[in-house]
Amino acid sequence: MSQHLSEQEIIRRNKLEKLNALNINPYPAPLYPVSQYSSDIKNNFSEATKEHYANVCVAGRIMSLNDKGKVFFIKVQDSKGIIQLYVRKDDVCSGEDKTLFDELIKHLIDLGDFIGVTGFVFITRTGEISIHAKSFTLLAKSLKPLPVVKRDDEGNVYDEVTDPEFRYRQRYVDLIIKPDVKNVFLKRTQMVNAMRTFLNERGALEVDTPVLQPIPGGAAARPFVTHHNALDLPLYLRIANELYLKRLIVGGFDWVYEFSRDFRNEGMDRMHNPEFTILEWYTAYKDYFWMMETTEQLFEKITLTLHDTTEIKAGENNISFKTPFKRISIYDAIKEYTGFDVSEMDETKLLDVCKQLNIEADNTMGKGKLIDVLFSEKAEANFIQPTFIIDYPIEMSPLTKKHRSKPGLVERFELMINGKELANAYSELNDPLDQRERFEEQSRLMERGDDEAMFIDEDFLRALEYGMPPTSGIGIGIDRLCMLMTNQVSIQDVLLFPQMRPENTTQEA
């Protein structure tokens, strides 16, 4: 990509040449002995602890620089926040170095550059905890200027860069100028760690399963297709890891889980990205009733870990994760919000209901997909508080055990929160003959034009024929859960690098 340099970028490159001419390395070796971080200093420094901060070493990016004559006040941002430096020429150099320092700090240093200083911590006359520099080192020269934003005295941005194209494509800049963005991803890691701890403490085993699969199984979705040259065969990026995890239950593990990176070749919007993260786990000798109780406990723990309360704010809604959660069948949910009892309807009648409700549907959609679209379009958005939608029709759930007492249904739930699905769980189908029939029905739907219908996985069927104990499994969307827990409205805001269209190479990078 050819570069079209702005005036500011040309100026910075000229400064780079001057630094080299003065034998000042603009990119010195990476070792720099950082001993303290901004937030640690600002949170813990006092008269009682000042001896501990008599010799500190910090490094960070210059976010502001004020020339007060013989003294420079510089604010640097490290990974924990922003702190002020008090830099006086007489303290950091002597003799001829003073002239060199004048040239460096007055003419060659820019906002965005990385510097390191050693010194001692003190409180200025205005009451700000600062570092009195005793040495000063340029660690990396920035060749592109940061976007101009307004900040308060603490460095917080209040005139934010809001262009999504800029923010998502240049996430590295977004993270620099907007501390709240970084906090979202810190919360995401905290959330995942809480989930992992919850499972590990209960004896679950974390595993890894293939991303490249010969058959895209475990969900109804359109896959990405690739090709393996050495084996000369097509492969698929996984749409789910379910069938591999259930193979492990067949193999003798009682409880396995995986944070799975999955890929679905589908549309993109504020709730969907073609690659996403999902937690799936499978537990032997359990059913969907046990899974509902365990899921309630997990979500309550996550909320307490991140927010120290079971109450959170999501947009305009106040949501409570205090257990137990509400439960309602999918048929009752559709009836409540459409007025139609669809429990005994065939495809023809379901198509007619969709037409009456102005829902787009066609003859390629089987009974299960028609019921799914009815619920999604007319009922789903109404479930704000955590609610288990339970007891789905068999046609919607080809991997789920038939209901023990309700003919035509399966033991499945989806967890709805703030009008969106957050989790999907079953009492798993472990009858290999029934499973084969379900796969064959999916194959017939594929022949009718349903490009999201499941493939027949012969190896998975063979595994079931060796015997799989009664099992319950669940998938939890990590990205959507992070959106909820951090009060974000778009999935792109909880993905560090969301998928985007190719950048226009005729534009400036």
Q: Are 264 and 285 in contact (CB under 8 A)?
A: no
Do 285 and 428 belong to one domain?
yes
Query: Is 351 inside any structural domain?
Result: no
Find the helix packing angle between 288-307 and 179-201, rounded to 10°.
Answer: 140
* Closest by CA position to 134, among listed 76, 90, 72, 69: 90
> Average pLDDT in the 101-125 region?
94
Phi, psi dihedral angles at 40 (to 5 degrees): -65, -45
Query: Is 149 inside any structural domain?
Result: yes
Find the helix packing angle between 330-338 and 367-378, rounded to 10°.
Answer: 50
pLDDT at 443: 83
Query: Is 344 inside any structural domain?
Result: no
Q: Is the pLDDT of residue 48 over 70?
A: yes
Do 225 and 133 belong to one domain?
no
* CA atoms within 13 Å, Cβ hemisphere of 111: 13
> Average pLDDT in the 423-449 region?
90
Residues 280, 243: Cα–Cα separation, whole Å: 11
- Please give the residue that has the higher pLDDT: either 328 or 156: 328
pLDDT at 506: 54
Phi, psi dihedral angles at 165 (to 5 degrees): -55, -45
Number of domains in the chain: 2
Q: Is the pLDDT of residue 509 over 60?
A: no
> Average pLDDT in the 130-154 region?
87
pLDDT at 501: 87
Q: Is the pLDDT of residue 366 over 90?
A: no
Q: Supply the CATH number for residue 58's domain.
A: 2.40.50.140
Q: Is the pLDDT of residue 382 over 50?
A: yes
pLDDT at 150: 66
Q: Is 361 helix (H, G, I), strand (E, B) or coil?
A: coil
Q: Is the pLDDT of residue 203 over 50?
A: yes
Q: Are strands 81-88 and 71-78 parallel, antiparallel or unpaired?
A: antiparallel
The pTM is what?
0.89
Give every CB contact of residue 115 below 8 A, 6+ residues apart in sequence. Answer: 59, 60, 62, 74, 76, 109, 136, 137, 138, 139
Do 144 and 185 belong to one domain?
no
Residues 114, 493: Cα–Cα separation, whole Å: 27
Query: Is 360 inside any structural domain?
Result: no
Q: How many residues in total does the chain contain?
A: 509
Do 428 and 478 belong to one domain?
yes
Q: Look over the chain and give the mean of its residue pLDDT values, rounded to a whole number.
A: 92
Q: Where are the alpha helices (DSSP H) in 308-385?
A: 330-338, 347-356, 367-378
pLDDT at 158: 55
Query: Is 363 inside any structural domain?
Result: no
pLDDT-derived band at 154, boundaries 50, 70, 90: low
pLDDT-derived band at 179, boundaries 50, 70, 90: confident
- Please give the residue that has the higher pLDDT: either 90 or 302: 302
pLDDT-derived band at 221, boundaries 50, 70, 90: confident
> Average pLDDT in the 255-276 region?
94
Do 139 and 234 belong to one domain?
no
Residue 100's domain comprises 7-158
pLDDT-derived band at 163, boundaries 50, 70, 90: confident
pLDDT at 234: 95
pLDDT at 1: 45
> Average pLDDT in the 293-303 region?
98
Do 54 and 154 belong to one domain?
yes
Do 258 and 209 belong to one domain?
yes
> Average pLDDT in the 239-245 region?
95
Query: Is 191 inside any structural domain?
Result: yes
> Average pLDDT in the 97-114 region?
89
Query: Is 371 inside any structural domain?
Result: no
Do 437 and 476 belong to one domain?
yes
Find the helix packing angle between 458-465 and 242-250, rounded to 10°.
Answer: 30
Query: Is 31 inside any structural domain?
Result: yes
Percent pLDDT > 90 in the chain is 79
Q: Supply the CATH number for residue 292's domain.
A: 3.30.930.10
Please tell me the least confidently modeled range out of 87-101, 305-319, 423-437, 470-484: 87-101
Do 226 and 315 belong to one domain?
yes
pLDDT at 491: 96
Do 96 and 217 belong to one domain?
no
Do 153 and 204 belong to one domain?
no
pLDDT-derived band at 508, boundaries 50, 70, 90: very low
pLDDT at 160: 54
Do 412 and 308 belong to one domain?
yes
